[in-house]
Amino acid sequence: MQTVSCPGCGAAVVFRSHASVMAVCEYCKTTVLKDADSVKDFGKMSAVLEDYSPLQIGSSGVFGGRAFDVIGRIQLRYAAGMWNEWYLLFEDGSAAWLGDSSGQYTLTTEKTASNKLPAFADIVVAQTYEIAGLSYLAAEVRIADCIGGQGELPFKVGPGWQAKLADFRHGSNFLTLDYSDVVQASDDSKVDQPALYIGKAVTLSELKFQLLRDEDVIKASAGKFRGKITSLNCPACGSNMDYLPGLTANVICSRCHSQLDSSGTVAQVLASADRMSKLNTTLELGAKATISANSYQIIGLMKRKDDENTVWTEYLLYSARAGFLWLIETNQGWAKSQVLADWPLWYHGESATLANKSYGKLYEYQAKVIYAAGAFNWRVVVGDSLKAIEFGNGIRKLAAEISADEITWSLSTPVAADQIRAWFGDNIKADKAGKFANAEETIATLSPQFIFWLLLFNAIPLLSDFESNWWVVGLGVAAIYYPAKFLGPAGKGDE
User: Does residue 40 form part of some domain?
Assistant: no
Q: What is the pLDDT of residue 221?
A: 57
Task: Give the residue from 329, 323, 306, 344 showing the smallest Cα distance to 424.
Answer: 329
Residue 93, φ and ψ in degrees, nearest 5:
95, -10
Q: Are residues 320 and 261 in the same domain?
A: yes
CA-CA distance, 27 to 83, in Å (whole number)?
A: 23
Same domain, 449 and 430: no
Number of H helices, E strands in the chain: 6, 30
CA dihedral 195, 198, 203, 206 (to 10 degrees): -130
The answer to whether residue 16 sits within a structural domain is no
| pLDDT at residue 428, rounded to an integer | 82
Closest CA to 39 of 71, 74, 70, 3: 3
Q: CB of 134 within 8 A of CB of 115?
A: no
Residue 181 lies in a domain: yes
Same domain, 187 and 274: no
Residue 1 within a domain = no
pLDDT of residue 190: 56
Distance CA 102, CA 106 (A): 12
Q: Per the structure, how many domains does the chain have?
A: 3
Tell me, what's the pLDDT at 471?
60
Give CB contacts under 8 A, 24+ apart, made by 189-194. 191/119, 193/113, 193/116, 193/117, 194/117, 194/120, 194/166
Overall pTM surpassing 0.85 (yes/no): no
Within 10 angstroms of residue 343's Cβ, the number of other Cβ atoms is: 22
Same domain, 297 and 176: no
Residue 231 lies in a domain: yes
Q: Does residue 85 contact residue 79 with C-beta atoms inside 8 Å?
A: no
Do 168 and 312 share a domain, yes or no?
Answer: no
Among 406, 464, 373, 463, CA closest to 78: 406
Same structural domain, 179 and 258: no
Nearest to 393 by CA among 352, 358, 364: 358
User: According to the model, what pLDDT value does residue 80 have?
Assistant: 75
DSSP 265-321: SS-EEEE-----PPP--SB-TT-EEEETTEEEEEEEEEEEE-TT--EEEEEEEEETT
C-beta of residue 111 within 8 angstroms of C-beta of residue 278: no
Query: Looking at the structure, do residues 236 and 311 belong to the same domain, yes or no?
Result: yes
Same domain, 289 and 384: yes
> Three-state DSSP class for 51?
coil
User: How much is the pLDDT for 70?
Assistant: 97
Domain check: are 365 and 393 in the same one? Answer: yes
Same domain, 148 and 267: no
pLDDT tens, the chain, 495 aa long: 567 677 777 677 776 666 565 577 777 767 666 564 544 444 555 566 666 678 999 999 999 999 999 999 998 988 777 899 999 999 999 999 999 987 789 999 999 988 889 999 999 999 999 999 999 999 999 999 988 888 898 888 777 789 999 999 999 999 999 999 886 555 555 567 899 999 999 999 999 999 988 766 655 553 343 334 455 556 555 566 555 554 455 566 656 656 555 554 433 333 333 333 356 789 988 889 999 999 898 888 889 999 999 999 999 898 877 888 999 999 999 999 999 999 999 989 999 999 999 999 999 999 999 988 877 777 778 888 999 999 999 999 999 999 999 999 999 999 999 999 999 988 786 556 555 544 444 444 445 555 555 555 555 555 555 565 566 556 655 655 555 545 444 333 333
In three-state secondary structure terms, 399 is: strand
Distance CA 246, CA 224 (A): 7
Q: Taking the CB of residue 471, how many other CB atoms lie within 10 A of it?
A: 8
- Is 183 within 8 Å of 165 (Cβ atoms)? no
Residue 110 DSSP SS3:
strand
- Cα(141)–Cα(138) distance, rounded to whole angstroms? 8
Residue 94, C-beta contacts closer than 8 angstroms, at least 6 positions apart: 66, 109
Residues 143 and 243 in one domain: no
Determine the structural domain holding residue 92 and report its residue range.
45-202
Question: Does residue 336 sit within a domain?
Answer: yes
Which of the listed residues 146, 168, 202 is the one where a domain comes to its end?
202
Structural domain contains residue 13: no
- Paired with 243 in beta bridges are 230
Tell me, yes or no, whether 388 and 244 share the same domain. yes
Residue 23, judged by CB atoms within 10 A of its CB (0-12, 13-18, 19+), counts as buried
40-45 long-range contacts (CB < 8 A, ≥24 apart) are 40/7, 41/7, 41/8, 42/156, 42/158, 43/158, 43/159, 44/8, 45/148, 45/149, 45/157, 45/158, 45/159
Is 25 among the domain residues?
Answer: no
Residue 31: count other Cβ atoms within 10 Å of its Cβ: 23
